[in-house]
Amino acid sequence: MNIWVRILRWIFKAQRLAYLHRLYSLSVVAIIVAVIGSAALDVKSSNDPLLFFSENNEYRQKLESYYKVFGKATATMIVLDAHEPGAPLPMLEAERYLSELLLDTEHPLAIDYLTALASPTATLPAIGYPTEYTSLEEVQLLSKGHPALSAYFFNDDQSATMVILSLDHPDQSDPALIAAYAEQMNLVEHMREKYPDLTISIAGNVMIFEALRESFERDGRYLFPATAFVNFLVLFFAFGNLRVTLSVMFIAGLSVVLTQGVAGWSGYIFAAGSASSFSIVFTLTVASLIHVVHAMGQRQRRLPFQRSYTTILSSFRKLTVPVTLAHLTTAVGFVSLNWADAPAFKSMGNLVAIGLVFSLLLSLLVAPIILKSKRSELIIRDDRVRTISRWFADTWAAAPIQNALIVSALSLVALAGLTRMVFDDQITNNFPEDHSLLVNIGQITDAFSWYHSIDLVLTYDKGEMAKPRAVADVVGLIDWIKEQHLVGEVFSPIPLVRDCLDHRQPPYVGTIVDVPEKMMNYCLRTSGRRNNDGYVGFFATEFTQLHLKIMLPRVSAAEVRTLSEKIEAKTLSMGFAPENTTMSGLGVMTAYLTEVNAHSMLIGSALAMLVVSILIGLFLRSPILAVLSILPNFLPAMASLGLWVWINGEVGMVATIIAAVTFGIVVDDTIHILYALARGKHTQTRAGVRKVLRNVTPGVLTTTATLGLGFGVLMFSGFEVNRQLGFLTSMTIFIAFIFDIYVLPGLYSLLKGRR
């Protein structure tokens, strides 16, 4: 007797013992759920963007190196737009009021974790104009000619100005950041009430955090109940029995509670987007029990004299192999996410895999008990689903070759969309266009033609930066960068250096390259003085590193990658070594997220397919069936991805994991069909295959509806990653169903004749 038969016998014995001692079994389950599930509400989550990048990610390492040198303080930008050129006095009055309010630590609207303030008012003393003795009319003149003001704080026509807050909040927990967001919004609302004629916009890290938090909170509040409701409707339509429907959902709910409990007990900080894992576990658990319930209904019709006890246990025993195999293959697909570069994907994959372990145990040992009731007979009314299923089986039998060719041709059309695929992972793409964050970003872009930045850091040997030739090269590089497509501005110390040279006694007259080295050294160090708030960030200690901030409008990740690569190539042509040129910043790191994950997941996806195929071959004792399982489950994922590209053009990082995730999910139906075909009679004939399809398709159809619609709920998420995951997964499931019905039986019949 081989090991697999022994395992099956152990499972059957455990099922029978658990069923015969139902009271004890349920008591043990209740204790386990109470102990593990007690931590279900203690799941820790965070919106830290670094959770999407592994510690070994080269772009994360570049960003952390940048933080180490130039500081990690986050920034918030407040823009005051008068829509009137010439730095109008009302705008300057509002800017001075706001700056003095922020500098007054005793004011109730002041922010106590403010580490630096960059604004016209805060800069005046550093350029020799004490604020209390400098009228707004004088500031109006300075804004037009003094580079310390005009180059950094005003747009081209001086119709808008900005105030930049450098913030270092000591507490990065959700409650603390929620309070920080409220403080900043109270400040902005106060300014809007006091100066109603100005357009006042705000953007920054705290704003993005709040937008993400709201999206994830909305998902947690609405998506899980919506998923449960969709599953309830599908199950009730399929089975026509309220008690059976609620019993299946109860088992799924226990799986979610146990999964959440493990997440809570672990103490691990999950990316907030990982909350969708619990909805996925719920839907997959429901899907695993659907085939068993349909088998119970089929047994009732064939053997109406059997007691419900026999019907339940016999149905579970009959489908233990495909149910176990379906759980294992799905878990393998999600475990393969550990090859992803993003820790957020790794944690989501592990959470779902853990949930599937609980789901398997509950499905095999607890579900038979829950489905049994002394008060009412177990009646499965699945005639409607069986009627629809017969239609699918009959349409396959009517023209199997033609149907397979049509499905294959349509899939190829969808696959052609992959040639047009563009990856885009900018954080702002996760929100609808009417979101307050994007409205503020749009207003800032209208005023300044940019709203965010990427960073270029150039490294020099000690003393080299102050040489006139080096500064002249930087001037040429800045001019070249400004000519590049979409670049709005380049913030650098050059305007301050020129101002220093112009105010020498006598003023320096000549080109940058001819400036005496001692004079250049003085002007560089003067422009980097620490009391000149906002500009010290241009230089590292000992003046060995120069930081340029390249300002951009809202552009795609592809455009950020292209610009970064062009700048790096330009610096190489100027003689900088590759290790002395670093493109960094959160925008750069995010732009490469999909590309890095795509390379990482090539191995994960391949291993998932290999392991799943091996499992199918071992469980079903057929290498041919193992090979046969790959094509109808890999192509649907690629077809759905191509379809998304045809519709939207751009995809995010979900595209890198969709093959691994969906392969483990959609192979479940393939397993049930192959298992039924392998056990069926006369499957070398069209009539024999049709008979098998009529019996197995009800479970496949209901599972497809449950999974497809359950994952489809994610398309209503407030987070673009989840929306893409919902669309791609649900479309893959529906396309895979068409493949399983119209392509898989023909391939099986073809290969069966040759084995």
Confidence of residue 190 (pLDDT cuts 50, 70, 90): very high
Mean pLDDT of all residues in 719-746? 83
Residue bearing the bigger pLDDT, 277 or 171: 277
Residue 720 pLDDT exceeds 50 = yes
Nearest to 273 by CA among 43, 436, 38: 43
Q: Across all residues in the chain, what is the average pLDDT? A: 82
**pLDDT value at residue 530:** 45
The pair of structure tokens assigned to 81 is: 């737009």
Pick 164 or 432 by higher pLDDT.
164
Count, in order, helices (H) and strands (E) of the chain: 31, 12
Using 50, 70 and 90 to split pLDDT, how confident is the model at 537? Answer: low
Query: Is the pLDDT assigned to residue 372 strictly greater than 80?
Result: no
Supply the pLDDT for residue 532: 40
Q: What is the DSSP letter of 221?
A: I
Q: What percent of the chain has pLDDT over 90?
A: 14
Same domain membership, residue 473 and residue 612: no
pLDDT (tens digit per residue) in 452-473:
888 898 988 888 888 889 889 9
The contacts of residue 674 (CB under 8 Å, 6+ apart) are 616, 620, 625, 628, 629, 744, 748
578 and 568 co-located in one domain: yes
524 and 551 co-located in one domain? yes
Q: What is the DSSP letter of 554?
A: S
Q: Whose CA is closest to 731, among 411, 485, 507?
A: 411
Sole residue written with tokens 């997220």? 593
Supply the pLDDT for residue 535: 38
pLDDT confidence of 754, banded at 50, 70, 90? very low
pLDDT confidence of residue 615: 76
CATH number, domain with residue 708: 1.20.1640.10
Token look-up 């998902």 returns 219
Picking from 591, 620, 643, the residue at the C-terminal end of a domain is 591
Going by C-alpha positions, the residue among 697, 679, 695, 691 that lies closest to residue 738 is 697
Please check the confidence at residue 296 and state whether its pLDDT lies above 80. Answer: yes
The more confidently predicted of residues 451 and 352 is: 352
Q: How confident is the model at residue 376 (pLDDT cuts 50, 70, 90)?
A: low
415 and 360 inside one domain: yes
Q: What is the mean pLDDT of residues 89-93?
A: 93
Question: Taking 50 as the threshold, does the pLDDT of residue 552 lie above it?
Answer: yes
User: For 692-748, what is the HEC assignment?
Assistant: HHHHHHHHHHHHHHHHHHHHHHHHHCCCHHHHHHHHHHHHHHHHHHHHHHHCHHHHH
> Can you tell me the mean pLDDT for 153-173?
85
What is the SS3 string spanning 69-97?
HHCCCEEEEEEEECCCCCCCHHHHHHHHH
Beta strands in 178-226 (DSSP E): 199-204
Band of residue 1 on the pLDDT scale cut at 50, 70, 90: very low
Give 60 or 203, the one with higher predicted confidence: 203
Q: Is residue 531 predicted with pLDDT exceeding 60? A: no
Q: What is the pLDDT of residue 536?
A: 45
The residues pairing with 457 across neighbouring beta strands, listed in sequence order, are 547, 582
Alpha-carbon distance 348 to 327, whole Å? 16
Residue 353 and residue 448 share a domain: no
Taking the C-alpha atoms of residue 339 and residue 611, their distance in angstroms, rounded to an integer, is 14
Amino acid at 624: I
Q: What is the pLDDT of residue 218?
A: 76
The reply to whether 293 falls in a domain is yes
Query: What mean pLDDT is predicted for residues 307-336?
Result: 82
Band of pLDDT at residue 128, cut at 50, 70 and 90: confident
Domain boundary among 535, 561, 591: 591
User: Does residue 565 surpass a pLDDT of 50?
Assistant: yes
User: Rg of the chain over CA atoms, in angstroms?
Assistant: 32
Residue 79, strand partner residues: 162, 201
Give the H/E segment covering residue 490. Answer: strand 489-491
Same domain, 585 and 598: no
Burial 588-605 (b: 16+ CB within 10 A, else e): bbbbbbbbbbbebbeebb
100-106 long-range Cβ contacts below 8 angstroms, 24+ apart: 100/131, 101/187, 102/163, 102/165
Regarding whether 587 and 605 lie in a shared domain, the answer is no
- Torsion sign, CA atoms 695, 661, 429, 410: negative
Q: What DSSP character marks residue 133?
A: G
The two three-digit tokens of residue 451, written as one number: 């709203």
Q: Does 56 map to a domain?
A: no
> Is position 116 within any domain?
no
CA distance 645 to 654: 13
Q: How far apart are CA 474 and CA 545, in angstroms?
A: 12
In this structure, the answer to whether residues 629 and 523 fall within a common structural domain is no
Residues 351 and 414 in one domain: yes
**More confident call, 67 vs 184:** 184
- Is the pTM of the predicted complex or chain greater than 0.75? yes
Whether 744 maps to a domain, the answer reads yes
The one-character DSSP state at 663 is H
| Phi-psi label, residue 345: left if phi above 0, alpha if psi -120 to 50, beta otherwise | alpha
Q: What is the mean pLDDT of residues 200-207?
A: 86
170: pLDDT strictly greater than 90: no
Full domain range(s) for residue 521:
430-591
Residue 379: closest CA among 318, 293, 316, 317: 293
Last residue of a domain, one of 574, 591, 608: 591
Higher pLDDT: 1 or 750? It is: 750
Between CA 634 and CA 650 the distance in angstroms is 21
Question: pLDDT band for position 251 (50/70/90)?
Answer: very high
Give, as one character, the DSSP assignment of residue 507.
P
Are residues 490 and 551 in contact, defined by beta-carbon separation less than 8 angstroms? yes
- Rank 330-334, 450-454, 479-483 by mean pLDDT and report only the highest: 479-483
Mean pLDDT computed over 587-605: 75
What is the arrangement of strands in the sheet containing 199-204, beginning at the earlier edge strand? 114-118, 160-167, 74-81, 199-204
| All residues at 6 or more sequence positions from 596 whose CB lies less than 8 Å from its CB, including other chains | 57, 59, 341
Indicate the pLDDT class of residue 147, thresholds 50, 70 and 90.
Answer: confident
Strand intervals (E) in 329-482: 422-423, 452-459
What local confidence, expressed as pLDDT, does residue 259 receive? 92
Q: Measured on CA atoms in the order 120, 428, 660, 229, is the torsion positive or negative?
A: positive
Residue ranges of alpha helices (H) inside 267-307 are: 276-302
> Does 93 fall in a domain?
no
Say yes or no: 363 and 270 in one domain. yes
Q: Give residue 553's pLDDT.
A: 87
Question: Residue 513: is its pLDDT beyond 50?
Answer: yes
Give the Å distances, CA to CA, from 42 to 38, 175, 199, 217, 265. Answer: 8, 15, 42, 15, 8
What length does the chain have?
Answer: 755
Examine the domain organization and report whether 294 and 405 are in the same domain.
Answer: yes
* Number of structural domains the chain divides into: 2
Q: Identify the band that residue 377 occupies on the pLDDT scale cut at 50, 70 and 90.
A: low
Average pLDDT over residues 193-219: 84
CB 670 within 8 A of CB 633: yes
Q: Identify whether 25 is part of a domain.
A: yes
DSSP bridge partners of 81: 160, 199
Q: How high is the pLDDT of residue 755?
A: 42
Exposed, middle or buried, 425 (CB in 10 Å: 0-12/13-18/19+)? buried
Q: Determine the longest span between alpha carbons in the chain, in angstroms.
A: 111
Q: pLDDT per residue over 10-47, tens digit each?
A: 888 888 888 888 888 889 989 999 999 898 888 877 76
CA distance 136 to 140: 6
Kindly state the average pLDDT of the residues 290-319. Answer: 81
Cα–Cα dist 217/266, whole Å: 21
What is the H or E stretch that residue 593 is in?
helix 593-620
Q: How far is CA 595 from CA 263, 599, 732, in A?
A: 29, 7, 22
Mean pLDDT of 339-368: 87
Taking only the tens place, the pLDDT of each residue in 659-704 is: 767 776 777 777 778 777 777 666 667 788 888 888 888 888 888 8
Query: Mean per-residue pLDDT for 742-746?
Result: 83
Distance CA 566, CA 571 (A): 9
Q: What is the pLDDT of residue 736?
A: 86
Lowest mean per-residue pLDDT among 81-85, 191-195, 329-333, 419-423:
419-423
533 pLDDT band (50/70/90 cuts)? very low
Q: Do residues 676 and 713 both lie within one domain? A: yes
Neighbours of 171 (CB within 10 A): 11
83 domain-assigned: no
**Would you say residue 151 lies in a domain?**
no
Percent of the chain with pLDDT over 70: 90
